[in-house]
Structure 1
Amino acid sequence: MNDILVVSNLSKNFGKHKVLENVSFKVPRGKVIGLVGPNGAGKSTIMKCILGIYPYSQGDIWFEGRKMTAQTTGTMGKKIGALVESPAIYPFLTGMKHFKLYGIKPADRQRVIHLLGMENYINQKVTQYSFGMKQKLGIALALVNNPDLVILDEPMNGLDLMSTLAVRKIILSQAAKGTTFIVSSHILSELEKIITDVVLIDHGKIILQKPLQALREAGHQCFTMVTNRNSDARQLLGNHHFDVSLTNDQLQIQISPNQLTNVLQILLDDHITITNISHQGMDLETATLQFLKQAEGVVNHA
C-alpha cells in the first residue's frame, strides 16, 4: 500500500460550530506532508482526530490499511509519534526520566538526545527548561520509538536557529529512511524546506492537495525580463492588462506559463528585443495566499 494514512469525508463539530467539513486527503508513505492554512482553519483538529484525541461526527481514518477506531487507536502508540500544540511533559521530572517513564531503550534515547543536542540539560528537571528546550524534548519523545508516522504541530516554535536546523535535518533524514511526516507550521519559509507535498485547508475544508513542486508551478508566477526598451515594454504590457513592474532595470511580470508566448509576441510585434529572461516559480507563501484568495473568491461569488 502506497498510502500510509487515508482521511475520508471527515467532519467535526464543536456544538453547533462545524470545524471540519468532509475533509479528505491521502498521505503517501515516506512523504513529508505540510498541513497549511490560516489560524483556525482546522489543522490541529485534523491532527487530534487522527490521534484519537477528538471524536468526529462522520468520516473514516485508515492507517496502514486498518480503519482507526477508539479501540484500534490505542494499539498504534509505537507506530505513530506526535507533538501537537505543546509537549506532554511532567515539569518535576528530568528529561531523562521522561524517556525512562515511557520505557524507552537506552540506545534509542541516546540517539535522539544526541540528534537534538540535548546532552547538556537532559538530566535537569523540566521546570528549568526554556520553551525551546521543552519543545525539543517533545519532538524527541515523538521520534524516539522510530514510528512509521510522525505528526508535528508547529515543531519550530521557540527554537533558535541551530535547533531549527537540527530538527529540519532529523525530519529529512528520517523521511529518507521511510518515515512519514505530517507537519503544520505558520513559518511557511521553513516548512517549505522540508515538505514534499502540501495539503491546504481553510474554514475546515480542503482547498487542494498537491506535490510542492506542482504547487510552485501552478497559477501565476514571476518572469524576470530585460529588453532594449524596458520602459516601453512595461507600458505596452500594462496596456494589455498584464501585472508588470520595473525594478533595477528588470521587468517583473506576474503571469502563468501559458501566457508567456502571448507576452513575447506583443513585445516582438513592437520591435522590442528581449536580451534576457528567467523564470521563478512561486514560493509556498505566495502560492498559499493565491489559492486562498481564489477559494475565497469562489465562496463570495457563490
Structure 2
Amino acid sequence: MLNVSNINTFIGRKKIIKDVSFQVNPGSIVGLIGPNGAGKTTIMKTILGLTKFTGTISVEDKTVTENNHAALTRVGALIEHPAIYPFLTGLENLKLYSLDEADMNKVVSMLKMDAYINTKSKGYSMGMKQKLGIAIALLNKPQLVILDEPMNGLDIEATILIRKIIKQYAAQGSAFLISSHVLGELQKVMTNVLLITEGKIIVDEPIDEFNRGSRQQYHLLTEDMPETEKLFVENQIPVTKSDDYLVISRELSDQVQDLLYSHHIRLVELSPQGLSFEQTVVSLLQQQRRQSHEN
C-alpha cells in the first residue's frame, strides 16, 4: 500500500529524516512512535508531499512527489491540527472533501456526530474538532489513512470508539499509519511497530515479534553489590537500579555471569522480568542514545 524507500527530508540545510525506509501493507495498523522531535510528524508530511525530500515514496505503486499529489487520491490524513473552517458547520466542512454523500453520512453516524454536525464548528470543543478531523480523514473510503495524534482531546468513550473504527476499516483492507504519545492506546490497535529517534528508524517489526523479542530484562543480586556495581562500571556494562537489585538487559546475562565468576563474586539471584510496552520503548531509546554518544 505504502512504500517509503531511503527518504531524507531537510528543513533548511538540516537533515531531519535520515535514510528512512519502511512499508505499510493493506489492513495493517502501523504505530509510529518516538520522543518529541524524533521526526514523526515530518515523516507524515513527507509522505503527503508537503516537504522537500530525496528518495522514493509510492502509494499503490504510484509515485508521490512534492509537486504531484495524484498518488494521494485514496489517502486520508489528519496531521497536527484538524483543517477546519470555523464559520462553516461540521457538515459543510465535510462536504468540501466528500465525493460520496452516503459515505459521508455513514462516517458522521459512525463517529456519533449527528447531534452537532449542523452547528458551526467555531463552537466545537477540542474533542469535537478532533472527531471532525478524523471524519475528514475517513471520507471516500481511503485505502491509506495517516493520523497524527488522533486521540488528542478525546474522552475515554470517544477514544474507545475511534479504536473500534480503526480496526473496522483495517479489517476491510485500509492501511493505517498512526503516531501517538498515548502508547497504551496505540498498543491496543497496532499490528506493527515503527520506533523512530533522531530521524532514524531503529525498530520496524510486527507487534507480536516486538513483544517477544525485546521485553526481557533481568534482576541481578550478588553477595557483594558495591563491588558488582564497580565491576560493571569498569567494564562499561549498562545497568539500572531497582530497589536492592541491578537491572541488566537479557542479551548481557551470559557476559555478566562470566564476569562475576572470573572475579569470584557469587551470584545470588538472576531472574527474568517482563517489561511493559512503554518500558521497552524507553529502554530501546536509552540504548540508542548511549550508542550515539559512543559513536
Q: Is TM-score (shorter-chain normalized) higher than 0.5?
A: yes
SS, match of residue 193 in structure 1 = helix
Aligned to 1:38: 35
Cα shift readout 1:133-160 (whole Å, capped 9, x = no counterpart): 0000000110121100000000000001
Residue 279 of structure 1 and its aligned partner are, at CA, apart by 6.6
Q: 1:244·1:254 contact (CA, 8 Å) conserved in 2?
A: no
How many angstroms apart in 2 are the aligned matches of 1:103 and 1:243? 53
- Using the TM superposition, give the Cα deviation of residue 123 of structure 1 relative to its aligned residue in structure 2, in angstroms: 0.6
Within the candidate set 267, 274, 277, 1:284 is matched to 277
> Which residue of 2 is the match for residue 266 of structure 1?
none
- The C-alpha deviation readout for 1:160-217, integer Å capped at 9, x for no partner, is 1111011011111111111100000011111111111111111111112111122222
Paired with 2:41 and 2:241, the residues of 1 have a C-alpha distance of: 39
Deviates more, 1:144-153 or 1:4-13: 4-13
Q: Within 1, Cα distance between the matches of 2:201 and 2:241?
A: 32
State the partner residue of 1:100: 95
* Aligned: 1:186 with 2:172: no
Structure 1 gap segments, 5+ residues each: 225-232, 264-269
Give the Cα separation in 1 of the matches to 2:292 and 2:193. 21
2:120 maps to 1:115: no
Q: 1:70 Cα shift?
A: 3.9
Task: Report the secondary structure of 1:181's partner residue.
Answer: strand
Matched residue SS, 1:296: helix
Q: Equivalences for 1:1-302 in 2 at 5 Å?
A: 4-56=1-53, 58-70=54-66, 72-77=68-73, 79-221=74-216, 235=222, 256=250, 280=274, 282-302=275-295
Which residue is 1:228 aligned to?
none
State whether residues 215 and 276 of structure 2, in contact with CA within 8 Å, keep that contact through their aligned partners in structure 1: no
- Inter-CA distance 172–240: structure 2 relative to 1 (3 Å threshold): farther
Q: Which runs of 5+ in 2 are unaligned?
A: 230-238, 258-265
Where 1:174 maps in the other structure, the secondary structure is helix
Q: TM-score, normalised by structure 2?
A: 0.82
In structure 2, relative to structure 1, the CA distance for the partners of 1:27 and 1:237 (3 Å cut) is farther
Residues 62 and 71 in structure 2, CA contact (< 8 A), matched pair in contact too = no
| Aligned-pair Cα RMSD in Å | 3.0
Percent identity of equivalent pairs:
41
After superposition, the Cα gap between the structure-2 partners of 1:222 and 1:208, relative to the gap in structure 1 and judged at 3 Å, is closer
* Corresponding residue number in structure 2 for 1:229: none
Aligned partners of 1:154 and 1:29: how far apart in 2? 21
Shift, 1:101, TM fit: 2.4
Give me the whole-angstrom Cα distance separating, in 2, the residues matched to 1:105 and 1:62. 25
Distance 1:278 1:110, change over 3 A: farther
CA distance in 2 between counterparts of 1:104 and 1:237 reads 71
Judged with a 3 Å threshold, the aligned counterparts in structure 2 of structure 1 residues 122 and 7 are, in CA distance, closer, same or farther, namely same
SS in 2 for 1:156: coil
